[in-house]
Amino acid sequence: MNSQMNKPIYEISLTLSTEQFLLRSMNNTQISFPSSTCIHHEFVYQVMKHPQKLAVAFDDQSLTYAELLHYSQVLSSHLLSRHLILPGEIICQCVERSLSMIIGIMAIEMSGSVYCPLSARDPQNRLHTLIKQTQSRIVLIHWLTRTKCHDNDIALIDIHSILINHDSKSDVDINRLSDVRVTSNDIAYIIFTSGSTGIPKAVRVLNLSNSKQSYILFGSIISGSIASS
């Protein structure tokens, strides 16, 4: 008390000690991650820790970690069994911001594939150019982007249709998903930059979970904080 009385009035805090602690806690956003695991491995770790915790929210929709894992496994299993995805194969995704976008990302990673995001705002000819450049034979879409990527040589997979048509009584082939081997030195995803010549240039990002680029894309989900719109 004496120390407070001897202080100039402009140095005296008007917040209680408990309020100061709360403010410090809210501002403490530093998160550390292990460096030897893959992005989707960290996600599964969060599922094990907080299965009922809110993982992602968009508008009035949301998914818990357990729900997000289930839907990701359903889609990933579909990619492996129906489309015979190979390890390291590039899968493009052209989806507006939504829960389906997150499910698609995790499903691609779980299947051992390489995620390549495409912007639905791009002209159709640019999208075709990027898809051809990646040599991808599959593009994940939803109903809003179906017409953007139409090509007879490409399999368009509507994420929402796969999920709603999945028989809830049928089990996901967990054993097959468990057989997928992905290391931290494998490519996690590909992004395109404009390049100095104006020609799109593919940048490959490894699956190292301590990569800054990886956490820009996946950090809020694998860290246990909510990813929202």
Phi then psi for 138, rounded to 5 degrees? -135, 135
Q: CA 158 to CA 116: how far, in whole Å?
A: 16
Question: By C-alpha distance, which of 171, 133, 170 is closest to 154?
Answer: 133
Whether 27 shows a pLDDT value over 70: the answer reads no
Question: CB of 162 within 8 A of CB of 78?
Answer: yes
Average pLDDT over residues 153-158: 91
- Which pLDDT tens digit goes with each residue over 73-88? 899 999 998 999 888 9
- Which pLDDT tens digit goes with each residue over 114-151? 999 999 899 998 899 999 999 999 999 988 888 888 77
Instruction: Give the chain's domains with CATH numbers.
Output: 38-228 (3.40.50.12780)
What pLDDT does 147 receive? 83
